[in-house]
Amino acid sequence: MASQTAIAVAAAFAVVVWGASPVATKIAVTHLSALMVAILRTLGAAALLLPIACARRLPQPSRAGEWGPLVVSGLCGFVGFPTFFTYGVQLTTASHAALILALAPVSTGVIAAVLERHPVSARWVAGAAIALAGEGALVLFRLGLRGAPESVVGDALVLCGLLCGTAGYVVGARAARVYGSLSTTVWGILLSGAAVLPVFALLTPHTRWAAVTLGEWVSVGYLAVMVSIVGYVAWYWALASGGIARVGLAQFAQPIVTVALALVMLREPVTVPLVTAGACILTGIYLARD
């Protein structure tokens, strides 16, 4: 049985790693298309993990019909999420993307409640409603953004990515209880890498590789290694060991990391309306804890 301290440390580590994801994505899409960045982060992770899969006898389903959870968690977490998220970040700010991702604990709790068939409390519903109100104000009234009407679409795409990602978290955490967090992450990434490889081949001739800077390549590498591999292994282990709905609430701290990095690295403004919407979202998420 894992200690509560170890679970908390693993969850906090994943949240910090993922907190830098919007900023790294914003840098990576400077000269690369959003779709190419999404593909490269998955293919890069798959290339690194393929030798591990070949060298170690990682646990895997014994029958073809048992691969379903690994396929779903992989496609949701390593294809659906990065694609929607990268396109969204290209059209909105990293700070806005971070506050939308702050709803991950709420969506994780809803999906976990449906799949695991356990009821949610009245307090959880009230907190979720407050968080959603703040989210609606953030997206619909463009709090904290000036002159960026296209970011409505960007926010919506980030939200779609959030739903894909949290569905992958829940299914992946359930699979990790059987196969382990490392195996679940490896198989999910390898299956997803195989799925996006044909698209990579089609996009390669139309990509201006010479224009990509060192900083942009470092950002892609961070997304592939730290976000897609290290962060997922730590997160799946924490969710499987400590409970999906309870540990999932650790993500409420993620926007703090992102907004701080966006302020320092991207010079994004932190306005009073943006802070107000963020406080509303985080208050609701805090109240929703079980």
Helices 232-242 and 181-203: crossing angle, nearest 10°?
A: 140
The model carries a pTM of 0.79
* Residue type (1 letter), 53: A
Helices (H), the chain: 4-19, 21-28, 34-55, 68-75, 81-91, 94-101, 104-116, 122-140, 151-179, 181-203, 214-222, 232-242, 244-248, 254-261, 272-287
The pLDDT value recorded for residue 106 is 77
**pLDDT tens digit sequence for 21-63:** 988 999 999 999 999 999 999 999 999 999 988 887 888 887 7
Instruction: Tell me the pLDDT of the chain averaged across its residues.
Output: 83
Percentage of residues of the chain with pLDDT beyond 70: 90
Phi-psi region of 212 (alpha: psi -120 to 50; beta: other; left: phi over 0): beta
Q: Lowest-pLDDT range, 122-131, 160-169, 205-214, 226-235?
A: 122-131
Give me the number of domains the chain comprises: 1
Between 20 and 134, the higher pLDDT residue: 20
- Yes or no: say if 76 and 171 are a contact pair by the CB < 8 Å rule: yes
Provide the pLDDT for residue 3: 82
List pLDDT tens digits, range 235-281: 888 888 887 766 766 777 777 777 777 777 877 777 777 778 778 87
- The yes-or-no verdict on residue 143 having pLDDT over 50 is no
pLDDT-derived band at 230 (thresholds 50, 70, 90) equals very high
Give Cβ neighbours of residue 150 (< 8 Å, ≥ 6 apart).
Answer: 91
Rounded to an integer, the average pLDDT of 72-84 is 93
74/22 Cα distance (integer angstroms): 20
pLDDT tens for 178-210 read 888 888 889 999 999 999 999 999 999 999 999
Q: Residue 238 and residue 250: Cα distance in Å, rounded? A: 10
Q: Which among 127-131, 164-168, 219-223 has the top mean pLDDT?
A: 219-223
Domain that residue 168 falls in: 4-287
Residue 148 has pLDDT above 70, yes or no: no
Q: Is the pLDDT of residue 65 over 50?
A: yes
